[in-house]
Structure 1
Amino acid sequence: MNRTSNSNCTTSRYRLPCQTVSHRLPRPFSYSTTSVQVSAVTNRTARTVILEYYEAYNKGDFTTLGDMFSEDVSYHDMIYEQPFVGRLQVLDYLRKVRDILTSDIKIVVEDATDGDPRRVGVMWHVESSNGAMMPFSRGCSFYTLDTEGKILQSRDLVESPVKPGSLTLNALAAVTPIFRALNLPA
């Protein structure tokens, strides 16, 4: 577990009492360990920022959404091979999704983690204005904020309409010995 120390306290990276928190800072999906100062500009947690993000998205408020992203945001919807990179590219993609969903369809946050000033995980589903849940609409998303509280990275994992079940385990069992035999680096 990463631990940091401030003059008055020592805490794990998952608690908020200290101002300095040790994190791995993502740049599009590569990691290095860096210690960061939590922004004193706002007392908002990552959870608060992301709940505001979903509220703005559901309202179709792309001005607010644009202000919430860092300039070099990386948004990886796992149904695509490559992430959308940069504020304009991410906003363009989100507008296309919003146009398909229409204004009566909402993303409903079921649960969101709390306690980390820069990272949050969210479980959600999509439903119509009458409360009916859309099929294959469950998902989870992971967000990392920069030190100014802007969204730096987002990764969405959406429920698959195909449910392969134990076929996936069988495929892993077949492929694992091949990887071991090739002795590929991790």
Structure 2
Amino acid sequence: MAAAINFSGQALPRSVGFKAREGMTLISLPSKGSCMLKQQKMKLQQHGMSMRSQAGSKTSITVVSSTRFDDYESSPFSASDTIAEFYKCINEKNLQELDAYISNDCCFEECSFPKPFKGKKEVVQFFEQLMASMGQNVKFNVEHICEDDDLTAGVNWRLEWKGAYIPFTRGCSFYECSTEGDRLLIKKARVVIESPIKPGGIVLTLLKNLTSLFDDFPKTTEWLLKSPQVIIQYIVKIYTMFLAAFINPIVTGYINMWNFVIRLLGFALNILINILKIFLK
């Protein structure tokens, strides 16, 4: 409930606007001089009130009851607080605490994987593998957390090794939480990671050609977009019938070559480490 009170007199040629919650009682302000106004401002602040000047010649006093502050202090975490604690658990390799932030029907979609992780068990197993892969020195550096409302939040982050940025490890995550008991749990998440391949303008060219095909054959496009698995099935059939016999041996040889190179590099690295241990003793 808001009420505007205008005071007459030359000492205070301003209008003072009050914004008060229902149930609050305001004492009247004296109309003599700015000193009395300052004293009254100090009294109002003691009761949880704040004063701020607005454009023009108005001064507004916003009144917030002590009950409002009590409600805020006793309220559960917001979505941003929940997500911040979630990443803290990952960095500290605290799987047990992280488990408490995942809802039983959680759906975690990591765009690098072909299928989303569904259910608390699958999601926790994924993060267990992630923590093991990060080692002891790789951490998430959460740059920003943007909260849409009390239940949704967006995060942009990057991976660092002892404070040094690891290339191609930036990403964005979007979380949807649900209230269960006295806390918020992660119900749905989508993670998008930076691609190491930077095609640049080629993507725009491909998009232009693709949309031209869509516009030329709208009915076919609608049918394909409603059933995307059909496209995959046709591609697999064409590959099996015409290309598999030629490409499979090449791919197999390529994979075997890189396996050999990796084993050779690992062997050379072990020799180098052993030599360094001998000379650095």
Pair in the same fold by TM > 0.5: yes
- State the 1:179 CA deviation: 2.0
What residue ranges of structure 1 are gaps of 5+ in the alignment? 1-7, 9-40
Q: Which residue of 1 aligns with 2:173?
A: 141
- After superposition, the Cα gap between the structure-2 partners of 1:105 and 1:138, relative to the gap in structure 1 and judged at 3 Å, is same
The structure where helix makes up a greater share of residues is 2
Q: Can you list the C-alpha shifts for 1:26-50, whole angstroms capped at 9, x where unaligned?
A: xxxxxxxxxxxxxxx8431100000
Question: Does 1 or 2 have the higher relative contact order (CA < 8 Å, sep 6+)?
Answer: 1
2:80 to 18, 22, 47: 47
- The aligned counterpart of 2:218 is 182
Distance in 1 of aligned mates of 2:125 and 2:78? 26
Report the AA paired with residue 176 of structure 1: T
CA offsets per residue over residues 130-158 of structure 1, 9 Å max, x none? x1101111000000001331100111100
**How big is the alpha-carbon RMSD for the aligned residues of Structure 1 and Structure 2?**
1.7
DSSP-derived class of the 2:164 partner: coil
Amino acid at match of 2:84: L
The residue matched to 2:76 in structure 1 has which SS? coil
CA contact (8 A) 1:45 1:115 kept: no
Summarize the alignment of residues 86-165 of structure 1 with structure 2, pairs less than 5 Å apart: 86-129=119-162, 131-148=163-180, 149-165=184-200
Secondary structure at 1:75 match in 2: strand
> For the residues of structure 1 that align with 2:126 and 2:192, how far apart are their CA atoms?
16
Moved over 4 A (4+): none
Structure 2, gaps ≥5 residues long? 1-21, 23-73, 226-281
* Structure with bigger gyration radius: 2
Matched residue count: 146
Write the distance in 2 (CA, Å) between the matches of 1:163 and 1:175.
19
Selected match of 1:73 from 101, 106, 110: 106
Structure 2: how far apart are the matches of 1:62 and 1:117?
25
TM-score (norm 2): 0.50
Q: By percentage of residues, which structure has more strand?
A: 1
Q: Which residues in structure 2 correspond to 1:2-21 (within 5 Å)?
A: none
Give the partner amino acid of 2:200: G
1:106-150: CA deviation from partner (whole Å, max 9, x where unpaired): 001000103510000000000012x11011110000000013311
